[in-house]
Amino acid sequence: MNIQEMLDNAKDTLGLHAQETEAGIYIPSKSSLKLAAPNKTNYDNTEYDAPYTGNKKILMVCTDQQYMTMENGKKFDTGNHPVEMMVPLLHFKKAGFEVDVFTPIGESVKVEQWAMPEDDDDVKQIYAEYQPKLENPKSIADFVKNDMANSDDYAALFIPGGHGAMLGLPEDERLGELLRWGHDNDLFVLAICHGPAALLSANLDGLDTANPDTKNKEGKSERDFIFKGYKMVAFPTVMDKQMPKIGYLPGKMPWYFGEKLEALGVTIDNKLASGQTHQDRKLISGDGPLAANEFGKLSANELLKALK
């Protein structure tokens, strides 16, 4: 037996191999699920003394794509992370905010079902409440084309995490228009874990996302990336690069969103995903599922304060 075979056997024994659920499609290893996907969240049932009673809503941007193809060709079964979506939604509901669900063209929202906290009744209940909206979301493309210019319906854009947030959203030009419109109209942007990958779309419109000083297709200079100079927290690149070693991912990721954001002038202020949150102007961020409770609470409180 060679060294690689010995290592593979050890990984099998420790449950460190990503689990193949069907041909070529993988979910995290048993060991990494125990570490990263507990059966109960840290949601704390915060009550808000003066819930919102106005007509401003939150626009939640979700992915409609399920599989990330790794460098080795294996597919990771992903989507939006249920904790990073549902725990903030619990806070928004308690704080009085209605949330509209959007995907790029109105296709159903994909959710990392393997990360669903099965012993958390609060999360399961809000997930059931949102199931119709997740299955039949609104279309970003339609909203941008038909309603955005005259809309005053929203106070915030919310982008939950999960590796699925890196699929489709960062290269969606209509989402880029939505984010720039939100910025121009002083909306909050709430992004957690891998959700900040979607912010890259705000730098589209003919620009190379890795070279923000280039010109657009017509040769005209573009304004700076709207989040240039901002600080935030997010799921760190250094941890994503380690995930294949514990079988959370079935191989090396095709790209890393943190590197691209940093190339555009964003400072990612954390090295670990330990439950940190951060606010810079109207950008509120969280570093991963451990941050979902505080991220939801901070976002709800800041919205309530701004809309008094």
Structure tokens, 258? 């943190």
> Which helix H or strand E contains 296, and what residues bound it?
helix 292-306
* N- to C-terminal Cα separation, the chain: 69
Structure tokens, 49? 């003394």
Spatial CA neighbour of 92 closest among 48, 141, 34: 48
CB-count burial class (<10 Å; 0-12, 13-18, 19+) for 221: exposed
Report the distance separating Cα 240 and Cα 245, nearest Å: 10
193 is a catalytic site residue: yes
Q: Tens-digit pLDDT profile for the chain (308 aa)?
A: 433 333 343 345 457 899 999 999 999 999 999 988 999 999 999 999 999 999 999 999 999 999 999 999 999 999 999 999 999 999 999 999 999 999 999 999 999 999 999 999 999 999 999 999 999 999 999 999 999 999 999 999 999 999 999 999 999 999 999 999 999 999 999 999 999 999 999 998 644 444 444 444 444 345 689 999 999 999 999 999 999 999 999 999 999 999 999 999 999 999 999 999 999 999 999 999 999 999 999 999 999 999 99
Each residue of 236-268: b (16+ CB within 10 Å) or e?
Answer: bbebbeebbebbbbbbebeebbbebbebbebeb
- pLDDT for 223: 61
Question: Do residues 109 and 80 lie in contact, with contact meaning Cβ atoms separated by under 8 Å?
Answer: yes
Superfamily, domain 53-211+223-306: Class I glutamine amidotransferase (GATase) domain (3.40.50.880)
Q: Which amino acid is at 221?
A: S
**Contacts of 131 by beta carbon, 8 Å cutoff, 6+ apart:** none
Report the distance separating Cα 257 and Cα 232, nearest Å: 13
Report the distance separating Cα 89 and Cα 102, nearest Å: 14
* Helices (H), ranges, 51-188: 82-94, 121-135, 140-146, 173-184
Q: Exactly one of 193, 234, 284, 300 is catalytic; which is it?
A: 193
Between the CA of residue 84 and those of 163, 247, 270, 280, 292, what are the distances in Å?
Answer: 11, 21, 18, 20, 5
Report the distance separating Cα 44 and Cα 5, nearest Å: 45
Report the distance separating Cα 102 and Cα 177, nearest Å: 14
